[in-house]
Structure 1
Amino acid sequence: MPLRRNPQGLQGLTQIGQGLGTLDREVFEAVAESPSPLLDATMPRLSWAADHSKLWFAVAAGLVATRHPSTVRGAIRGVVSLGVTSLVTNQFAKRVWKRPRPNRATVPLHRQSRRFPTSNSLPSGHSASAAAFAVGVGLENPPLGLGLALLGGLVGLSRVVVGAHYPGDVFAGFGIGAGIAVLGARIVPPIVPTQVLAADPLRVDTPPRPDGKGVVLVINPASGGGTGSRVVDEVREALPAAEIVELGDDADVAAALDEAAQRADVLAVGGGDGTVSCAAGIAVKHGIPLAVFPGGTFNHFAKDIGCDTVAKTVEAIRRGSVACVDLVCMDDDRIVINTASIGAYPRFVRIREKLEHKIGKPLATLYAMVLTLRHAEPVRISYDNKTLQTSLFFLGNSTYLPSGFAPSRRTRMDDGLIDVRILETGRRFARLRIITSLMLGRLERSPLYHELRVPEFSFSVVDGSTILAHDGELGSECTGADFSVKYRALPVFRPLP
């Protein structure tokens, strides 16, 4: 039996469409006829600024200049979304929906745009581009995207005020631009900052030491290219009762720290992360708190506990501000305070840190990754019942941020976890796939990238041995290693809220 059409249903839809069209024209005429000095002064200029997306390209340039990671990513995503939207709107949408432009006779001459467009009215290209850019930026940086969305809304309003579009054209443009930006986020997801949840800091009751009594500082004045000498002078002036043990270049640092710990209430150390790692193990052995003065080249541990200057460490000692942090024990006899690595990871970090202040961290990371993967000697390792080939292996004390293969900071150092990140390079076209994923901001989603956070970790080298570096020291050859967390084992002076 043939299907019967429902003429009443079609007639109802037609009537709804006609009603919306009438409402659209009435709103347009109401806006055109409304006297407003504010609209007269601002809307034509804003509409002109958005011609050919000049406004959004200028905003994008300003966002990139900030060099803030999420802001730069937002600017790039916004511009790409805008470009795709412009192509879809002008080459497809305007040819499918044919609607004549509004009658400008009701629009005051001083409001009208200089060049009246001749293309179809539906949808508004200016509005589509505005929505695409604002939503694209907002996917990476929501607060910034909200502000740009308000600006985009004004751009859409300006197209009605100057007589170029009906309100319905503007809303259609907003929908197309926002939809394309959201679709782009499904293809290349935005980067979501990792949040580390942990318990409150474990404070240790320690008496204030306003003059540094009971503190023994072990330091080489020549360390850090002369930084150690400056630390000695500042500590001597700020903590006159502290004992300062100055070492020579050929001194046995471990023996000096152990001897100092036997008579100290507080063991203080000045130097790089390798020296601090040694001091941490000795402080735990003698059951006394550690104070760290930044006296090395990078001082990653000192920065992460909030003691990136001598003044901050001095203030913590004076106030008796102490909290416990984690340590990682390696093979039961060595302490890791920051990181351990095999393969070419130390080379990767050196290249990245050398360039990131000149060209920005994203480009520096990409360049360092390309060089490292090109020249690195791969290592085959076994862990957790799997065997893989890697050129970059990173292990950190506590969780590092951000996710991906450019970890740079820790917001907490007492979460009881080891942060392990491995790039697998033994699969087909692995290097090309890694570089492509890094360029698209999707490395952490690549099957070649492995990231885990565990309280213990062990690996073994399948073919011979490899060099294991830790805390800035080159280390020695090994055939494998066992790592375990010493949860909140080290009481350390640090600023506390």
Structure 2
Amino acid sequence: MDLAEIDHRAFDRVAAAKLRGLESVLPRLSALADHGKLWYLVAAGLAVTGRPSLRRAATRGLIGIALASPVVNIVGKQIFRRRRPIIDNVPQVRLHRIPRSPSFPSGHTASAAAFAAGVAMESPRRAALPIAGLAAAVGFSRVYTGAHYPGDVLAGAASGLAAALVTRLIWPVSVPAEVVPLDRTVEEVTPSGEGVVIVVNGDGLVEEYLRGELPGAAFESSGELEDRLERAARKAKVLAVGGGDGTVGAGAAAALKHDLPLLVLPVGTLNHFSRSLGIETVSDALNAYRSGNLSRVDVGAVNGVPFLNNAGFGIYPDVVRRREKLERRWGKWPALAVSTVRALRHTAPVRTSIDGEGRRVWLAFVGNCAYGSHGTVPTTRGRLDDGLLDVRVVFARRRLGKPGAFAAVLTGSSRLGYAKWAAESLHVLPSADDLLVSHDGEIRGSTSPIVFDKHPKRLAVFVPAP
């Protein structure tokens, strides 16, 4: 018995089956999945939740569909040109509009599998499993309604899974870093928040919500941010800071100065550090606080100023400033490309000495712990306590000029001047005294020399319960 005969017999068995309650449901599900409508609706539902992980999941799922659909429907079907099943044995009530295109592989199933697999890469199980079940139901409905043989569906599912995996080459998966909880929990943690002093930068609604959740906590709400953080740290047992990465970095400096545990409240635009901790919402932060779980993470420093994510110089501060304005709407990679072009337009490479070696530098990125991505675009970190700086530099090469620098930023090619290494410190002596340096999105001038170094496992932070 060959595979085609097995496929035909399996189709006949499904055609003869009568699943009570599903005779009208599955045909409607199959119709809803036409042209990806079902998955666009699911993606919209994930996006409106406001959770960054679910928005990323929706985006990755749609990218998977965009890759799988043309490969299956334009290339695969034209290569194999398999005829649709004979539907004499399929009850009339199930019959949906039978397409005239070739049968192998199933385009509906490819889109369903690509979307479900993409969602599973970015979202928690409670969101991924129902969507995976829905995708499986779509695949089965294609056989149940007489549109495809089971082999068509299996091939479509394999194609969709392959497309989802390809998305990882285009856009690395965002996963929290591995954080190791301390052996003890915080004795000062109370359900109502006594001993917690909260500083929220610029969001009154969040502050109002926190007053309801932690009625025993105190707030510092007036004055300049650094003054508020200093006042809060002097009287706190736990310092809670809400804002973007720059605000959280300033909060970390205050927590380090007064040897306090830090509770990170993600109310900024991008919140890279809190996402590395596995905290995506204020609710996640409160759950981490109530669990009492602490971890100690590394802190980077540039001339003594702490940073939690990364720092840099050359065109990097300008690229960061421009990219953050575009990233939320366009995504990281398109925003990076546009920002790099704009930053390169009116600039020249910086003449510096790096660890005693004179070089011309277009861009220098210094990460607090190793980032998993290749090239000069930071994505996620596997750990937050490796004791190292992740150094990535694009050196200027006379023959290549600005086009070569742009290509090196995007591709991370060593032939174009890109270099990467790990270090415990980095000493930079720029030829100009007014070199701009960025750290955690904040940009300021820095005195010469510039020293990047590490403080391993210095900062105690609340992390979600294992």
Aligned mates of 1:319, 1:38 — CA distance in 2: 44
**Structure 1 residues 433, 24: closer, same or farther in 2, change over 3 A?**
same
Asked whether 1:174 is paired with 2:142, we answer no
**Structure 1 residues 290, 177: closer, same or farther in 2, change over 3 A?**
closer
**Structure 1 residues 200, 24: closer, same or farther in 2, change over 3 A?**
closer
Provide the residue aligned with 1:487 in structure 2.
456
Paired residues for 1:450-465 under 5 Å: 454=422, 456-460=424-428
Cα contact 1:203–1:324 (8 A) shared by 2: no
**Structure 1 residues 330, 149: closer, same or farther in 2, change over 3 A?**
same
Bigger CA radius of gyration: 1
Task: Specify the SS of the correspondent of 1:201.
Answer: strand
Amino acid of the structure 1 residue aligned with 2:80:
A
Task: Measure how far apart 1:362 and its partner are.
Answer: 5.7
Select 2:437's aligned residue among 459, 468, 475: 468
Select 2:312's aligned residue among 327, 338, 341: 341
Task: Specify the SS of the correspondent of 1:196.
Answer: coil
Q: Percent identity?
A: 23
Provide the residue aligned with 1:157 in structure 2.
143
Select 2:299's aligned residue among 310, 313, 327: 327
Aligned mates of 2:264, 2:94 — CA distance in 1: 66
Paired residues for 1:360-371 under 5 Å: 363-371=334-342
Aligned mates of 2:272, 2:80 — CA distance in 1: 56
Select 1:354's aligned residue among 310, 318, 325: 325
Aligned mates of 1:353, 1:298 — CA distance in 2: 8
Task: Measure how far apart 1:78 and its partner are.
Answer: 1.8
Cα contact 2:396–2:417 (8 A) shared by 1: no
Provide the residue aligned with 2:124 in structure 1.
none
Amino acid of the structure 2 residue aligned with 1:326:
D
Task: Measure how far apart 1:63 and its partner are.
Answer: 1.9
Asked whether 1:130 is paired with 2:91, we answer no
Cα contact 1:378–1:391 (8 A) shared by 2: yes
**Structure 1 residues 176, 421: closer, same or farther in 2, change over 3 A?**
same
Aligned mates of 2:270, 2:311 — CA distance in 1: 15
* Cα displacement string for residues 409-435 of structure 1 (whole angstroms, at most 9, x for unaligned residues): 889754433343445675574356368
Aligned mates of 2:65, 2:413 — CA distance in 1: 22
Task: Measure how far apart 1:83 and its partner are.
Answer: 1.1
Provide the residue aligned with 2:76 in structure 1.
89
**Structure 1 residues 131, 448: closer, same or farther in 2, change over 3 A?**
farther
Amino acid of the structure 2 residue aligned with 1:200:
P
Task: Measure how far apart 1:138 and its partner are.
Answer: 4.7
**Structure 1 residues 42, 447: closer, same or farther in 2, change over 3 A?**
farther
Cα contact 1:124–1:173 (8 A) shared by 2: no
Task: Measure how far apart 1:270 and its partner are.
Answer: 8.5
Task: Specify the SS of the correspondent of 1:189.
Answer: helix
Task: Measure how far apart 1:458 and its partner are.
Answer: 1.6
**Structure 1 residues 451, 152: closer, same or farther in 2, change over 3 A?**
farther
**Structure 1 residues 105, 199: closer, same or farther in 2, change over 3 A?**
closer
* Cα displacement string for residues 19-63 of structure 1 (whole angstroms, at most 9, x for unaligned residues): x6555555555544555665642454445445xx42x24414642
Amino acid of the structure 1 residue aligned with 2:158:
A
Give the count of matched residue pairs. Answer: 432
Task: Measure how far apart 1:343 and its partner are.
Answer: 2.0
Task: Measure how far apart 1:399 and its partner are.
Answer: 5.3
Aligned mates of 1:493, 1:403 — CA distance in 2: 28
Aligned mates of 1:320, 1:75 — CA distance in 2: 38
Amino acid of the structure 1 residue aligned with 2:64:
R
Amino acid of the structure 2 residue aligned with 1:171:
G
**Structure 1 residues 105, 139: closer, same or farther in 2, change over 3 A?**
closer
Select 1:393's aligned residue among 364, 384, 390: 364
Provide the residue aligned with 2:64 in structure 1.
77
Can you give the 5+ residue segments of structure 2 that lack an aligned partner in the other structure?
A: 48-54, 121-127
Aligned mates of 1:329, 1:82 — CA distance in 2: 47
**Structure 1 residues 402, 45: closer, same or farther in 2, change over 3 A?**
same
Task: Measure how far apart 1:382 and its partner are.
Answer: 6.0
Cα contact 1:299–1:308 (8 A) shared by 2: no
Paired residues for 1:43-82 under 5 Å: 43-49=26-32, 53-54=34-35, 56-60=36-40, 62-63=42-43, 66-67=46-47, 68-82=55-69
Q: Please provide the CA RMSD for this pair.
A: 5.8
Task: Measure how far apart 1:175 and its partner are.
Answer: 2.1
Can you give the 5+ residue segments of structure 1 that lack an aligned partner in the other structure?
A: 1-15, 438-442
Amino acid of the structure 2 residue aligned with 1:484:
D
Asked whether 1:200 is paired with 2:187, we answer no
Aligned mates of 1:40, 1:308 — CA distance in 2: 42
User: With structure 2 as the length reference, what TM-score do the two structures score?
Assistant: 0.64
Task: Specify the SS of the correspondent of 1:141.
Answer: helix
**Structure 1 residues 386, 171: closer, same or farther in 2, change over 3 A?**
farther
